[in-house]
Amino acid sequence: MPLLEPVLCKRIPTAPWGDPRDRKYVNYEAFVATGGYAGLKKALAMEPKAVIEVVKASELRGRGGAGFPAGMKWSFLPPEDGKRRFLTVNADESEPGTFKDRMLLDFDPHLMLEGIAICMHACRLDTAYIYIRGEYHAQAATLQRAIDEAYANKIFGAGSMLGQINGRDAECFMHRGAGAYICGEETGLLESLEGKRGWPRIKPPFPAVAGAFGRPTIINNVETLAIVGPILDRGADWFKTMGKGRAEGVPPTVPASFGPKLFGISGHVNTPGVFEENLGIKCSELIEKYGGGMRGGKKFKAAIPGGISMGVLGTDQYHAELDFDIGRKYAVLGLGTAGVVVMDEDTDMVKALRNMIRFYAHESCGQCTPCREGTGWLSKMLHRIEAGDGTTRDLDLLSEIAGSMGAMPGTTICGLADGANWAVRTMLNKFWGDFEKRVRKERFVSLSVVGAR
């Protein structure tokens, strides 16, 4: 069932409900006039634990990539001890093919700020840091404007609606990143926030116990927090009328895919952009209804479902359902950020994979040897295959190297290597013929190189 009315895009004109050319910044007054901060007022009338229970009941899953249940994450915090407790908001958005959070930051940042305030009340957090991508210069200026408006209207600061938490005024700050992909990983983000090199941390301890500055910390994505206000305002049952529930026979302990979602669509489509729809929409419907169909009338070949770290959907997976179960059903890593990159029939898959792996080789922080060396090896091998100098043995080596690195094989601290792994394995498995055509059975070495005997 399609989404009946926009939720996240309520104030941001977006097809099919509005014309993107009419978009403008929604200030505090306009936000309140259209029902903004109503969810915060309801939350403040409730006990903190009751707010967490509402979020848990909604089965809201994180919109930043992993899809972990937000309410469960909020419940992991230890009891208050009178010392600082932090919320860090991941607005880094450095995953290639992803630009959904940027739209919220550009036009309706108060929606996220409302979610931040609700989370601070529910989890008893006295300080929030919004970690924004270093390249988001215009978005940083807009966000700071919204934060200033929130302070002026007593959302945060001395005498705010939140009151004092742990004996301190509730504060909200923006922190600008320095442009590193790895700082989108939650513990790499924390290291950067503390002024250190953005290297991911070994876990445990987990951020809920020892996060920013060694204190209990909740880390949520922009879009995750943006939907919290509407959930508190309209209820968990309302939220669960949207999206896709559990399949028959699936136990209730398995999180469902409830609610609306922002889908970014780019690549070989006629109308790229960000669109709001229910989780569970088919890839084909997203392309045809919102993307305006395949560019130039060409045929569909592949799609990246949610940022390049998720791998690719094959040609026969055009109708794949975009929900949190996509990984299990269609042999990709997951839904990720729902940044769908579409590729047409003329796409060179060898070149596409080489481009992806070159990115990972460049962005590896270098802390873990399998990732530091492995992504470099993969990049060199793909450059060789693209140039026509590869052999069938190289294809086997690509799979072997990729499958030997990553947090899931247990050889690296974070998931950057897993992104490279899934990009390689899904490309090779689903488009083996494209790669086989570009390699030889054996490698011939010129006599001019080894010298004549």
**pLDDT at site 354:** 97
- Residue pair 365/383 in contact (Cβ under 8 Å)? The answer is no
What confidence tens digit (pLDDT) does each residue in 348-364 have? 999 999 999 999 999 99
How many other C-beta atoms lie within 10 A of the C-beta of residue 434? 19
| Mean predicted confidence (pLDDT) in 35-46 | 97
DSSP state of 367: -
Give the torsion sign (CA, 15, 17, 23, 24): negative
Among 325, 344, 363, the domain boundary falls at: 344
Same domain (yes/no): 314, 446: no
Our measurement of the distance from residue 435's CA atom to the centroid of its chain's CA atoms, rounded to an integer in Å, reads 29
Per-residue pLDDT band for 444 (boundaries 50, 70, 90) equals: low
Residue 72 reports pLDDT greater than 50:
yes
How many distinct structural domains can be found in the chain? 3
Same domain (yes/no): 436, 306: no
Among 344, 378, 400, the domain boundary falls at: 344
Per-residue pLDDT band for 448 (boundaries 50, 70, 90) equals: very low
Residue 407 reports pLDDT greater than 70:
yes
Tell me the percentage of the chain whose pLDDT exceeds 70: 97
CA-nearest of 78, 5, 7 to 232 is 7
Same domain (yes/no): 91, 191: yes
Residue 174, helix vs strand vs coil: strand
What confidence tens digit (pLDDT) does each residue in 141-181 have? 999 999 999 999 999 999 999 999 999 999 999 999 988 99
DSSP state of 120: H
**pLDDT at site 79:** 93
| Mean predicted confidence (pLDDT) in 335-348 | 96
Is 124 part of any domain? yes
| Mean predicted confidence (pLDDT) in 381-406 | 93
Amino acid identity, residue 429?
N
Q: Residue 306: give the domain boundaries.
A: 257-344
Is 119 part of any domain? yes
Per-residue pLDDT band for 443 (boundaries 50, 70, 90) equals: low
Same domain (yes/no): 430, 385: yes
| Mean predicted confidence (pLDDT) in 368-393 | 94
Is 172 part of any domain? yes
Is 356 part of any domain? yes
DSSP secondary structure letters along 375-421: HHHHHHHHHHHHTT--BHHHHHHHHHHHHT-STTTTSSSSSHHHHHH
Same domain (yes/no): 205, 323: no
What are residue 302's DSSP bridge partners? 343
List the CATH number of the domain containing 178.
Answer: 3.40.50.11540
Same domain (yes/no): 158, 37: yes
Kindly provide the b/e burial profile for residues 365-383, where b requires at least 16 CB atoms within 10 angstroms of the residue's own CB. Answer: bebbebbbebbbbbbebbe
Per-residue pLDDT band for 453 (boundaries 50, 70, 90) equals: very low
Is 371 part of any domain? yes
Same domain (yes/no): 197, 164: yes
Same domain (yes/no): 100, 236: yes
Same domain (yes/no): 24, 145: yes
Same domain (yes/no): 78, 204: yes
Query: What is the C-alpha to C-alpha distance for residues 105 and 132, in angstroms, rounded to an integer?
Result: 10
**pLDDT at site 252:** 80
List the CATH number of the domain containing 445.
Answer: 1.20.1440.230
Is 4 part of any domain? no
List the CATH number of the domain containing 306.
Answer: 3.10.20.600
| Mean predicted confidence (pLDDT) in 108-132 | 98
Per-residue pLDDT band for 452 (boundaries 50, 70, 90) equals: very low
Q: Across the chain, what does the average pLDDT equal?
A: 93
Same domain (yes/no): 232, 294: no
Among 320, 344, 368, the domain boundary falls at: 344
| Mean predicted confidence (pLDDT) in 253-270 | 94
Is 12 part of any domain? no
Residue 67 reports pLDDT greater than 90:
no
What confidence tens digit (pLDDT) does each residue in 283-307 have? 999 999 999 999 999 999 999 999 9
Is 5 part of any domain? no
What confidence tens digit (pLDDT) does each residue in 180-233 have? 999 999 999 999 999 999 999 999 999 999 999 999 999 999 999 999 999 999
Same domain (yes/no): 142, 158: yes
